[in-house]
Amino acid sequence: MKIKMILCLMLIGFMYNDAISQIRIAGKVTSIDDGSPLPGVTVAVKGTTIGTVTDIDGEFSINAPSANAILVFSFIGLATEEIKVGNRKIIDVQMSSDTNQLSEVVVVGYGTGKRSKNKAVAEYEMVADEAFSTRVSGAAISSYPQPMEETSNEDYAKIVENGFKNPFADPLSTFSIDVDAASYSNVRRFLNHGQMPPKDAVRIEEMVNYFNYDYKQPNGDDPFSINTELASSPWNKDHKLVHIGLQGKDIAMDNLPPSNLVFLLDVSGSMSDANKLPLLKSAFRLLIDKLRPQDKVAIVVYAGAAGEVLPSTSASEKDKILDALDNLSAGGSTAGGAGINLAYKIAKQNFVKNGNNRVILATDGDFNVGASSNESMEELIEQKREEGVFLTVLGFGMGNYKDSKMEILADKGNGNYAYIDNILEAQKVLVHEFGGTLFTIAKDVKIQVEFNPAKVQAYRLVGYENRILAPEDFNNDKKDAGELGAGHTVTALYEIIPVGVKSQFVVDDLKYQKTKITEGAISSSELMTVKLRYKAPDDDKSKLIVKTIEDSKKSIDNTSDNFRWSAAVAAFGMQLTASDFKGDLTYSDIYDLAKSARGKDEQGYRAEFIRMVESCRLMARK
């Protein structure tokens, strides 16, 4: 008995000495050129899995195991810095460009820190108008794009592109809205690494919906406005393009309901890379800083087993929440199912009536232990959403990224899905679009379109391949569909082949039967009728909205920035996937179209897209 007691005391002593030997280091990383903060810089303890990433202000904090520890500061295009901790608790670092490293990478990125917000547009004008001159930072453009590495273990659901349909055989087109934008940032990640994305990684609707559009705010009882526009198609002058846009109602931060959030964080061994758990920590620091005292947060982690590291805590105690977050480290296999069960249990225990009850899952999607099949995960999430707890999924990392699993989880959990490839994307999703990401204003939003066969010879929905619904699903309130967040916009495009236009995509007339067009259709000026159904977040009965779209011969040159920008992004997606329907539009045409529609671009997101197009154009020489 005495021996056991002595051993216990020794163990406690070792643990205490280890705890007090840790040194909390904070600091700021800036550019040696102009002193601007550098976000997204990886800060790691050399020889360990301990690490973090600088936030949007270039600031970081990390626990060093001892005074002998060495901190390594690294970022693509910058010279790596190694600094011994010593007796310091504040370490500020200035980093300079590494011209040797820059000569080996493709310059398709964006500015650093706060400079990117203000200088992104100016830098774009200088760089793009000079055909992406190799004088930028002394860099040379490499052989780009390159094929995806064969060693990649990333997983994407198969996409079979929507084809043209005959309005006689298929008079109705029905689909669920999609506010996810993960595909765009994931595609950007590939391009920024000099690789073309896998075709199945490109979901055109998510690329289009990555951007906000200047739609009018709703002014009636419905939580969103409906905006439509029709003009000639930019990739086929004989076709028409229909633009349908929804604008979710903006809600001031002070008027948003209180949040009961459970952070479900993957800390398995697969999350040890710098662009996974360290970036995750920095991303969630931005979110925590945005929360109000009436909001509360719990943290659940999972690796070989799941556990609660922070009980539900008021956001007024931000230091307590941040300490729990900062102490996380990666290791072990991934028991995703157990973690999700525990997170929902804690969310239910702290349920806020009429509040925002939500689990936020952050992972690379590599569920390799426990209930990990897509089917069992779907059933688990569907059961929990009925209890009033929604799910947001944030994806991190590369190499073993499981996109298909994360998309399914978010869809079934009445939530949304974003891919965080850098700290600026984290700021976009968790700060700039805070309300849209976390607060649902309409659920089970469905769209059904009926086409007038007197004017429409064939039609095609651009994207939304994995959101297609059966016609009868539209009126079925038990059928799940997409959610719309506060302030969010959703855009959908239809390509139309008018009656009388000769096209390889049109099926020949039938020999043994004819379908008669009604007199009303022949005399009508209507091209199509758009119907929408949605439910309030806490309702089970849907509401119906109907809107007609008149035929028009408007040229694309006379359309809004909204129309031209969405068309440019969709055309870019079709180029990346070598779509059968991409027409004769080239990267140069897409570049010109996007540049003409950039409009207000306060955060520089559109300028960044134009750079991506220009980079592809230079490599394709088109």
Cα–Cα distance, 268 to 306 (Å, whole number): 10
For residues 350 and 296, is the Cβ–Cβ distance under 8 A? yes
For residues 205 and 492, is the Cβ–Cβ distance under 8 A? yes
Cα–Cα distance, 354 to 609 (Å, whole number): 39
Sign of CA dihedral 362, 367, 370, 371: positive
DSSP codes joined into one string, 46-114: TTSS-EEE--TTSEEEEEESSTT-EEEEEETTEEEEEEE-TT-SB--EEE-B-HHHHTTS-------TT
pLDDT at 369: 43
> Reduced to 3 states, what is the DSSP secondary structure of residue 619?
helix
184, with CB counted inside 10 A (0-12, 13-18, 19+), is buried
Cα–Cα distance, 93 to 491 (Å, whole number): 43
The token pair at 212 is 């906000």
Give per-10-residue mean pLDDT for the chain (622 aa). Answer: 48 42 88 83 81 82 90 80 93 79 35 36 34 28 34 80 94 94 92 85 96 93 94 96 96 90 90 86 93 96 82 96 89 68 92 92 71 65 85 86 83 88 90 87 95 96 96 95 92 97 87 84 94 93 96 94 98 96 93 94 91 83 58
For residues 169 and 453, is the Cβ–Cβ distance under 8 A? no
pLDDT at 42: 81
> Reduced to 3 states, what is the DSSP secondary structure of residue 571?
helix
Q: What is the largest CA-CA distance in the chain?
A: 99
3-state secondary structure 73-88: EEECCEEEEEEECCCC
DSSP E strand boundaries for 180-239:
224-232
Distance of CA 186 to the CA centre of its chain: 8
pLDDT at 105: 34
Could you give the C-alpha distances from 117 to 17, 126, 604, 606, in angstroms and in order? Answer: 45, 16, 6, 11
Could you give the C-alpha distances from 118 to 23, 97, 114, 122, 449, in angstroms and in order? Answer: 36, 20, 7, 8, 41
pLDDT at 153: 77
> Reduced to 3 states, what is the DSSP secondary structure of residue 401?
coil
Q: If you ran DSSP here, which 8-state letter would residue 430 be given? A: I
Cα–Cα distance, 57 to 42 (Å, whole number): 14
> Reduced to 3 states, what is the DSSP secondary structure of residue 311?
strand
- Residue 324 region by backbone torsions, left for phi larger than 0, else alpha for psi between -120 and 50, else beta: alpha
pLDDT at 562: 97
pLDDT at 333: 60
The token pair at 250 is 């903006």
DSSP E strand boundaries for 131-192:
172-176
**β-strands 224-232, 240-248 pairing:** antiparallel
Strands in 489-498's sheet, in edge-to-edge order, are 224-232, 240-248, 489-498, 456-462
For residues 113 and 56, is the Cβ–Cβ distance under 8 A? yes
Residue among 29, 181, 36 nearest 605 (CA) = 181
Cα–Cα distance, 14 to 125 (Å, whole number): 59
pLDDT at 367: 62
Q: If you ran DSSP here, which 8-state letter would residue 402 be given? A: B
Could you give the C-alpha distances from 185 to 182, 405, 421, 605, in angstroms and in order? Answer: 6, 17, 7, 11
Distance of CA 575 to the CA centre of its chain: 20
The token pair at 66 is 């001892």
For residues 479 and 444, is the Cβ–Cβ distance under 8 A? yes
18, with CB counted inside 10 A (0-12, 13-18, 19+), is exposed
Neighbours of 387 (CB within 10 A): 11
pLDDT at 15: 41
Cα–Cα distance, 260 to 350 (Å, whole number): 7
> Reduced to 3 states, what is the DSSP secondary structure of residue 546?
strand
Sign of CA dihedral 509, 514, 517, 522: positive
Buried b (16+ CB within 10 A) or exposed e, 518-527: eeebeebebb
Angle between helices 374-385 and 403-412 (to 10 degrees): 20
pLDDT at 445: 96
> What stretch of H or E contains 11?
helix 2-21
Phi, psi dihedral angles at 554 (to 5 degrees):
-65, 140
